[in-house]
Structure 1
Amino acid sequence: MERREFLKMGIVAGAAVAASALPAMAEASYTEFTLEDCLKLTPQQMAENSGAVMASWKYIQNQAAGIKNPMLRRAVLEIIADPAPKLLNVVSGRKKDVYKEFEKNGWITDISYDAFLPENGSAKKANQPFYTAPGSGYSSHHCYPGGLATHTALNVEMSLALYSNYGKIYGFNLDRDVVVAAQILHDLHKPWVFQWQQDGSCRGENKLAGTGEHHVLGVAESVVRGLPADVCVAQACAHNHPGFSKDEEAPVRWLKAAAVIADVDPVEYGLLAKDGMTLPLQRSMEAFVTHLGDHDWILTVPAVKWIIPVMEEIAMHDYGMNKAELNSKKFHAFRNAVFSQATVMNLYHLMQKDGKAALRKQVNAIVKA
């Protein structure tokens, strides 16, 4: 099939699926192409040719548009439309001071001043669209073009299920706006951190304040953009909850680090309690829901680790690749295309239920040998 034709067909298929509700994503279509096609496709084209990715992206946009608070709704929609690191406007001229503050507090180790923030950042335009970014590092969960969209969509749906169930069982409603906004934004700077590289892999991630740098930078971005404190606190709790003192130390640390980047007083902004030692009291239930909703990785991380070796076997057996090529653009383009079209979770489910032969058949249906 001519490249122009399969691109057009895939975008149409993706748009058709995206118009449906989230549960229909299991039946999302994909585009077929050759190995040569894979090498020519950009990450954006791969994402746009995936029915599952486009459906997830549409779902995220719809949920953001459903936020009732007009100022919060506008802010969330603006961020996902262009997740440019506006925080760079605030850090400009202060970077050395911010770096020294991180060093003093033990929030940064083995990272040079030059590598302190992800490269190529621009406050004017994001490095890539939200929907083309991977969900995590290249050997971790949702490591394909569009992985951030499928990861975020599932987490939002999980969070809304928790929100609904608290209402059904206990008879009270949490703040739905906070739940939706915090979960949509919990990985907002992955498009900056996990930039696609020339060899088809994505940029590695440094750590800030004891967690992946995307997390602290994302919370800082929300503060810089003036989002309400309760949303920023819930967003910070995506990686850990405040239920026990030892656990609460982590989001408190991340909020302090984000406040340094954003150049605000975390207590005055409302990110911390008056003593600066805990989250605001009484502790937000929405923060717990955001944390519980961000547990897609529990299954998706090992699923990737189990799938990649099988993909390597298929690449060598069916597509003539040698071992050296498994760490090259050729294999990366191949796996990016397959993962973006089918999603890792669908592939792992297929292998778990029907075996490696079924997985191989599915891969061959997406990329013609």
Structure 2
Amino acid sequence: MSQMERRDFLRFGLAAGAVVAASTLPKKAQAAYTRICVDEVRAMTPQAMAEQSGLVMSGWDSLHASANTIRNPKIRATVLDIMAKPAPTLMQRIGSSEKKEIWKELTAKGLLKDVALKDFLPPAKSASAEPQPFYSAPGSGYGSHHSYPGGLVTHTDLNTRVSMALYEGYREVYDYLLDRDVVIASQLLHDLHKPWVFQWQKNGESRGEMKLGGTGEHHPLGVAESIVRGLPAEVCVAQACAHNHPRTPEDEAKVVGWITAAAIIAGVDPVKRGLLEPGGKTLPMPRRQEGFVCHLGDHDWILTVPAAQWTIPVMKTIAERDYNIKSDDAKGFNSLRNYVFSQATIMGLYEIYAAKGEQELTRTVHSIVTPA
């Protein structure tokens, strides 16, 4: 085995040149693997990278465990179905003429700005087939937080844990009983259409994201999908609050805009569906607070965005110096960083970098992919 510290070994499930017996490791490291070379990394698909990662697959198990605690059988079944198959079923009603009309209405209402019709909505080969598995999608745009295969899983797992901790805290301190099913379902689904929006490209990057309602398009599209899939209004409203809380009129107007955009895309009346108060200016009254918990839970990015911004440049240095990957070889670098990040996570690597410096980070990267 390499000179990796036991702490690193247990975290990543690595063995330099030798497969380790998975049964001897904690659950997160049970997907043991051998150190591989750059050529092997170049040949791997994002899905294969995610499936190779003990951390991603452990997170995937954790998300299913959380979903299975949802008490309402219909909500539980729908959440599990979306996780298993995040297909853009909302596209079933959107042909070319419908797409143009939706685009025109969103533009007229100021919810879509500077987006050409041809760029509106991510590409979808089928409304019944997911562009990629939930577990292989990145957690954000390329270069931002969790921008690696499986990043959506680790991001959602952390956010769900935070939301449940908030739920338990308010219950224990105030005897305040939020709707537990809504808290879990809204957080598990808050990024449900990132597999559609952030499709992996041939150069190893993920697709760029358009703006919709002043936020990333994945957000209103995800709410629209939940509406189309028949989830209760309470879940859809809480999910819509992930990117902001309705504390002030200005903040609430943003959430109302996302729900309005989602309803237009889904082809429903948001008031009749119980998504907005009559008149369409506020959330249903009195306002429930599960959405606030969903919003607070979706703050993993506070730590992970800067961690990504500080780790990626160091990875570029390591790639050029130790793997002979030139600065103009985007595919080569993206393959290397996607694989390393998927196996160790950006947060795991940044912790090593912050605590022990670049030399230790380099050694850890070498233990995952053999230097050239």
Instruction: Compute the TM-score of the two structures, normalised by the length of structure 2.
Output: 0.91
Deviates more, 1:107-116 or 1:350-359: 107-116
User: CA shift at 1:91, angstroms?
Assistant: 2.1
Q: Which of 212, 225, 229 matches 2:216?
A: 212
The runs of at least 4 aligned residues of structure 1 exceeding 6 Å deviation read 9-12
Give the SS at the match of 1:324: coil
Quote the Cα distance in structure 1 between the aligned partners of 2:313 and 2:363.
16
Counterpart residue identity of residue 64, structure 1: A
1:191 to 2:195 alignment: yes
**Contact kept in structure 2, 1:13 and 1:49, CA below 8 Å:** no
Pair 1:298 & 2:322 matched: no
Residue 123 of structure 2 is matched in structure 1 by 119
> Across the two proteins, how many residue pairs are aligned to each other?
353
Pairs within 5 Å for 1:344-355: 344-355=346-357
Query: Which of residues 194, 216, 227 in structure 2 aligns to 1:223?
Result: 227
Equivalent residue in structure 2 for 1:147, among 130, 145, 151: 151
After superposition, the Cα gap between the structure-2 partners of 1:43 and 1:31, relative to the gap in structure 1 and judged at 3 Å, is farther
Q: d(CA) in 1 for partners of 2:54 and 2:165?
A: 23
Please say if 1:84 is aligned against 2:87: yes
1:60 to 2:63 alignment: yes
Q: What's the Cα RMSD here?
A: 1.9
Partner residue in 2 for 1:75: 78
Q: Which amino acid is 1:63 matched to?
A: S
Counterpart contact for 2:21–2:32, Cα < 8 Å:
no
User: What does residue 3 of structure 1 align with?
Assistant: none
| 1:287 aligns to 2:312 (yes or no) | no
In 2, Cα distance between the equivalents of 1:12 and 1:191?
Answer: 32
Aligned to 1:317: 321
On the 8 A contact 1:238/1:287 being kept in 2, the answer is yes
- Taking the aligned partners of 1:191 and 1:42, their CA distance within structure 2 comes to 15
Change (3 A) 1:95 1:119: same
Aligned to 1:341: 343
Query: Is this contact kept in 1: 2:204–2:334, CA < 8 A?
Result: yes
> Counterpart amino acid of 1:303?
A
For residues 11 and 165 of structure 1, the distance between their equivalents in structure 2, rounded to whole angstroms, comes to 39
CA contact (8 A) 1:30 1:366 kept: no
Measure the CA separation in 2 of the matches of 1:12 and 1:88: 45
Name which of structure 1's ranges 178-187 and 105-114 shifts more when overlaid on structure 2: 105-114
Cα 1:317–1:127 shift into 2, 3 Å: same
Alignment equivalent of 1:362, drawn from 361, 364, 370? 364
Q: Please point out which of 46, 49, 53 is paired with 1:50.
A: 53
Cα drift, residue 239 of structure 1: 0.2
Shift of 1:215: 0.4
Show CA shifts across 1:68-119 (max 9, x none).
Answer: 1011011101100000000001223511110110110111122111111101
Unaligned runs of 5+ in 1: 1-5
Q: Aligned in 2, Cα 1:317/1:100: closer, same or farther, shift over 3 Å? A: same
* Contact 2:22/2:29 (8 A) holds in 1: no
Looking at structure 1, the residues matched to 99 and 235 of structure 2 have their Cα atoms a distance apart, in angstroms, of 26
Distance 1:121 1:84 in 2: 10
Identity in percent: 54
**Alpha carbons 1:196, 1:203 under 8 Å: kept:** yes
Contact 1:13 1:30 in 2 (8 A): no
Go from structure 1 to structure 2 and tell me whether the alpha carbon gap of 1:11 and 1:215 turns closer, same or farther (over 3 Å shift): farther
- TM alignment of 1:118-267, pairs within 5 A: 118-267=122-271
Tell me, in whole angstroms, the C-alpha distance in 2 between the residues paired with 1:11 and 1:78. 34
Q: Distance in 1 between matches of 2:36 and 2:166?
A: 39
Shift of 1:269: 0.5
